[in-house]
A and B are shown apart, each in its own frame.
Chain A
């Protein structure tokens, strides 16, 4: 009974000619946006408080009790039976003139502005622009090209003072670095101290214009040359939904995707670097053999058929659930080991970041249980621990799946080198790697190219045990094969006699 009362009532209202159903009392603009209606707006952001200053999302209410003037829909709530329009002459002329005001002091430097192509000023100008400029007066000049810390550049002149970034630092990170100083048209965004929070780059995403741009992405590519790959971040177990902007020249940036179950609208700065290894110069393009310190191209089939036995495989925690299942299907339990990444940073920073960098640990545990009907015991299977490593002493050839090292895995990178060093000298080490830039590469005898997380389809399980999908985007290493594919090659060539034998057979 009480539960029913708590549930919000769904009511119907009308936006232009479209009937929309939404929760009573919810935000009117959000309800419209959620239903795919295009409404011009700058200052409203669903993840932030309402400030109502850009005056673009005006609507006029139709009916008896309607207010006499158009009002901003971002500050209105949904109620039963109201009918609002944003295509009346009053509203269209208001929006047009407001856009004109937005552009009064906006510099015309779209040519060098990174936002060009995804700029809301450009977008709305196409729809609501006055087109006939009457501005011949001098514009107010403010400081351009300001480095305000972390990864963010500020151009105060391009700013339309929507205050989204100010609200972000005040409400989401609560670090209060940004503010708007002065009054009137001299008002400008200012950082009195450099941005210091780990989520600073989000202000670049929420900036509707080119005032805040990313130092990392700055001038690297025009946005219209890029395609977005919708995928999941493997920076930690949180598993934020992200999109990677890429084209055939490479990957260029990572931005968060809206996902209310995990990351809302945000992501951390570390996660924004996960694109860097996708198209790096170090990507392995073909199998390599270690010829006393010099790596030379080789044929994979050639040596895979002559590997000494017994064999073992050390898997990373960054493979997809599908890959794990295929691997476990091919390889008996006693030959499977794992390399678990060490924890880095605080356990949980109360926003998104977690210390556990083993992005698909839960997916791995799940598939392990499914395949071997046995709970994964990390103390005996984690090769980063001494106990598990001793079991590898008798192994003659060992496959090592190199984890996808992200720039912020500092501890992990050093540990991994030590780990490779500590493996028995006489054991043949075949690294299944995406690039040749990892530390300790000299300890490996062979390098086989594997795809990165953005070059394969698959599933991750995040910390909440929710399935998150990875999608295959542009492939930067043509010869890369997935880990199970290589393993299938061995089991085929060796006729399942020794070494890797089919678990089910």
Chain B
């Protein structure tokens, strides 16, 4: 057999990506597709849950909460109505890994969802994909149709007492729907405004029933873990951040795109080896985890290892693994303005600190001399920092913090440049 048609299980998530036409179920099945699911049906749900817990797989949406523990909070009543929701509403600036995954290998996600559904006892699942990904939604829909035809979805799957229906739900362009309760609100046909917690979705979610929301990448890692076991999954990564992770790299590198590397890989390696180094000018800064993550200076970026703990030790976060690389020609103030514009545009308008704060921060960052004559650059920066600090931890969801953190990060990492920027505004 052509080795090109065989999966490369040295990768967890991109194992099938080199195979042409793997979107077709026959191709995927030939390449050992759905074998993990078949195997899982012979295992007990509790065993699968334990295995995922043992693998230490952490939620890939951004928060990094261990998936196995999250599953542990879920209702154990197999008869009760429950939902499995896949979060493919990838809107964090800089992130495009889920799109890449779904586009190339939709069946991996479906298989992951099937195993999860079997483990969690959910009867219905939705893949909430962002509205802009029209073609990706069509690819998924086609794959789901194929899976129905092959009997992987529907009633009494593969002769087992297990039924699972899966549908694609397209969003309509709102960043906040990537937040799990916002996504549930949106799925319910409402504005995608996050809900008050408690109750948590695992207890009371979509339509009031227990709902498990997992990121595409988390679910897509499950088949590999079931096939090869938690212990082998832990061969990659660190003690606290095991396994591999997709990184979406964009910005001033020679080769932008999605790569899968073990957690804990130094950022320097990623930039220099995987991405072919910087494009033109030398490195100035890196946003390591999507626009919500505080910025790292070049010095920090060359030291940091890409796992949850190490990035956090530099005051930033791994987030969704979206690495935006900036070279010396780039203005940090511009980055701040664009970031704040984004959060101002995307704030759902529910909680006051976020609704008013995101708009106010943007205005402060864009202050013109005609407006502000008396303040010194230091005062403007202090105010910006204070407003950002006041927004943190005061709202229903984390969007306010996601806007505040990069702001504070930039003010902290590039104080001189920001001072010069606010100073110039006055002259």
Chains A and B touch each other in the complex, with CB atoms below 8 Å apart: yes
Chain A residues close to B by CB (< 8 Å):
50-55, 58, 69-70, 72, 75, 93-94, 97-98, 100-102, 104-105, 134-138, 140, 160-161, 180, 182-187
B414 to chain A, nearest CB (A): 22
CA distance A54 to B372 in the complex (A): 29
A166 to chain B, nearest CB (A): 11
Determine which residue in B191, B353, B356, B372 has the highest number of CB atoms from chain A within 10 A of its CB, and name it.
B356
Contact B355 A161 (CB under 8 A): yes
On chain A, the residues within 8 Å of B1 by CB distance are none
Contact A55 B358 (CB under 8 A): no
On chain B, the residues within 8 Å of A186 by CB distance are 349
B335 within 8 A of partner (CB): no
B363 within 8 A of partner (CB): yes
On chain B, the residues within 8 Å of A161 by CB distance are 349-350, 352, 355
Contact A100 B390 (CB under 8 A): yes
Contact B393 A55 (CB under 8 A): no
On chain B, the residues within 8 Å of A58 by CB distance are 394
Contact A55 B363 (CB under 8 A): no
22 residue pairs A–B, Cβ–Cβ below 8 Å: A52-B396, A55-B351, A55-B353, A55-B394, A93-B390, A101-B352, A101-B353, A101-B356, A104-B360, A137-B360, A137-B363, A137-B367, A137-B371, A138-B371, A180-B349, A184-B349, A184-B355, A185-B355, A185-B358, A185-B359, A187-B349, A187-B355
On chain B, the residues within 8 Å of A180 by CB distance are 191, 349
Known: A69-B393, A183-B346, A185-B344. A97 touches B355 (CB 8 A): no
Contact B356 A104 (CB under 8 A): yes
Known: A101-B357, A105-B356, A137-B367. A184 touches B351 (CB 8 A): no
Contact A53 B350 (CB under 8 A): yes
Chain B residues close to A by CB (< 8 Å):
174, 191, 196, 198, 344-353, 355-360, 363-364, 367, 371-372, 383, 386, 390-391, 393-396
Contact B196 A137 (CB under 8 A): no
CA distance A50 to B352 in the complex (A): 15
The one of B198, B355, B371 in contact with A136, judged by C-beta atoms closer than 8 angstroms, is B371
On chain B, the residues within 8 Å of A53 by CB distance are 350-352, 396
A207 to chain B, nearest CB (A): 15
Majority-rule SS of A interface residues: loop
The one of A50, A51, A138, A184 in contact with B363, judged by C-beta atoms closer than 8 angstroms, is A138
On chain B, the residues within 8 Å of A136 by CB distance are 371-372
Known: A135-B360, A136-B371. A185 touches B396 (CB 8 A): no
On chain A, the residues within 8 Å of B352 by CB distance are 53-55, 98, 101-102, 160-161
Residue of A nearest to B348 (CB): A183
Known: A135-B360, A138-B363. A183 touches B353 (CB 8 A): no
CA distance A449 to B191 in the complex (A): 58
On chain B, the residues within 8 Å of A51 by CB distance are 196, 350
A73 to chain B, nearest CB (A): 12
CA distance A40 to B390 in the complex (A): 18
Residue of B nearest to A93 (CB): B390
Contact B383 A134 (CB under 8 A): yes
CA distance A186 to B355 in the complex (A): 9
Contact B353 A184 (CB under 8 A): no
Residue of A nearest to B174 (CB): A183
B124 to chain A, nearest CB (A): 26
CA distance A101 to B349 in the complex (A): 12
On chain A, the residues within 8 Å of B383 by CB distance are 134
